[in-house]
Amino acid sequence: MNLDLRPVPVGALLREWRAARRLSQLDLALDAEISARHLSCIETGKAQPSRPLLMRLADALDMPLRERNALLHAAGYAAAIPETRLDTPAMEQVNKAIAFILAQQEPYPAFLMNRHWDILAANNAAQRVNGFLLDGRASPHANMLRHAFDPADLRPRIANWHDLAGTLIRHLHALVAGSPTDAKARALLDEVLAFPGVPPRWRVRDLDTAPAPLLTTEFVHRGVTLRFFSTITTFGTPRDITIDELHIECCFPMDEATAQFCRQLAGA
C-alpha cells in the first residue's frame, strides 16, 4: 500500500482555495494587494511567500482559523492560531458561557456542537426529548447529522424529514465546498449520502434552492407532535480554533402544544 504523506505545497493549497472561492489570480491578487505575477509565482513554487503575506491571502480567501494554520504549515511556518481543549483552565469562562446558555434554554432542547455537527454537550431538556422520542434507549450516534439520517436513530420520528435533511445536506455541501481541505467533512458527506432513502440528486450541490429562513423540525411519536425551530449562537471574533468551530443550537417551540409537552417532561 503506497501512501503519499508528503505535505501539500503552499502554492497548490492556495490554488485549491482560490478555485473553491471561484476567484481568478487577478481577483485574489487585488484583494491581497499584491501583483498577479507575484501570486502566480507563489502558486507555481517559484516564489516563497512571507508569513504576513500568507495571512493577507488567508484573509482574502476568508479561510477558517484551522485552515490558516495549515496554510502556514505548508509554507514551513509555525502555526499562528492556538487550539485549546475545552476541558482546560484557559477555557473556564467559555465553558461558563456555554453552560449558562444551555441552562437558560430549559425546558427546551439546546446542543453544543463543532463544525462537523458532533454533539459536545446538551442540556437536560435535549436528553428528555430524545429519551421520549427513542423510548428511553440510547442514541447510536453523537452527531446531529447521523441522528437525522440514520433510520436506526431519530429519522423515523421526523415528520418533515425530506425538508430537514435537504437543508442539512445543503449546509454540509457548503462546508465541503468552502473548506476544500477538510477531509472529515467530505467523509461525513459521503457517509450520510450512503444512508438508505437519500435521493441521488442530493449528491450534487444545489446552488439554485434558497435555504429556508429558519430550520424547523417536526417530530411525531406515540400520538404526540413536537414542532421546533432552531437558532444558532456562535462566539464573535474568536482567537482560538476550538472557539471558532463551536456553535450552540437552541430549539424553540413553534406552538403551545410543544411548549406544554416540554414543560410536562421537565416537571416529570
* Sheet architecture: strand order including 247-253: 119-122, 110-113, 247-253, 224-233, 215-221
* Tens digit of each residue's pLDDT (9 = 90 or more) over 94-112: 999 999 999 999 999 999 9
- pLDDT given for residue 212 in this prediction: 73
Grid cell in block for residue 172: 454540509
Domain 10-74 has CATH 2.40.50.140: no
pLDDT(2) > 70: no
For the stretch 64-69, contacts whose Cβ atoms lie closer than 8 Å and that sit 24 or more positions apart, written own/partner, are 64/115, 64/179, 64/244, 64/245, 65/238, 65/240, 65/241, 65/244, 65/245, 66/241, 66/244, 66/245, 67/17, 67/179, 67/181, 67/182, 69/241
- pLDDT given for residue 207 in this prediction: 82
- pLDDT given for residue 213 in this prediction: 75
Break the chain into its structural domains and give their ranges.
10-74, 89-267
Q: CA geometry: angle at 146 spanning 141 and 151, to 5°?
A: 95
Grid cell in block for residue 57: 491571502
What gap in Å lies between CA 93 and CA 79, rounded to an integer? Answer: 24
Using an 8 Å Cβ cutoff, are 204 and 189 in contact? no
- pLDDT given for residue 66 in this prediction: 94
**Which has the closest alpha carbon to 101: 135, 129, 125, 136?**
125
Using an 8 Å Cβ cutoff, are 112 and 248 in contact? yes
62: number of Cβ within 10 Å: 11
pLDDT averaged over every residue in the chain: 94
Percent of the chain at pLDDT > 90 equals 90
Q: How many residues does the chain have?
A: 268
Domain 89-267 has CATH 3.30.450.180: yes
pLDDT(174) > 80: yes
**Which has the closest alpha carbon to 140: 123, 155, 128?**
155
pLDDT(4) > 80: no
- pLDDT given for residue 208 in this prediction: 81
What gap in Å lies between CA 189 and CA 117, rounded to an integer? Answer: 12
* Tens digit of each residue's pLDDT (9 = 90 or more) over 199-251: 999 999 988 877 777 899 999 999 999 999 999 999 988 899 999 999 999 99
Average pLDDT on 38-67 reads 96
Grid cell in block for residue 168: 442539512
Q: Considering the entire predicted model, what is its pTM?
A: 0.90
**Which has the closest alpha carbon to 152: 164, 141, 143, 144?**
141
Q: Model confidence at 6, in pLDDT bands (50, 70, 90)?
A: low
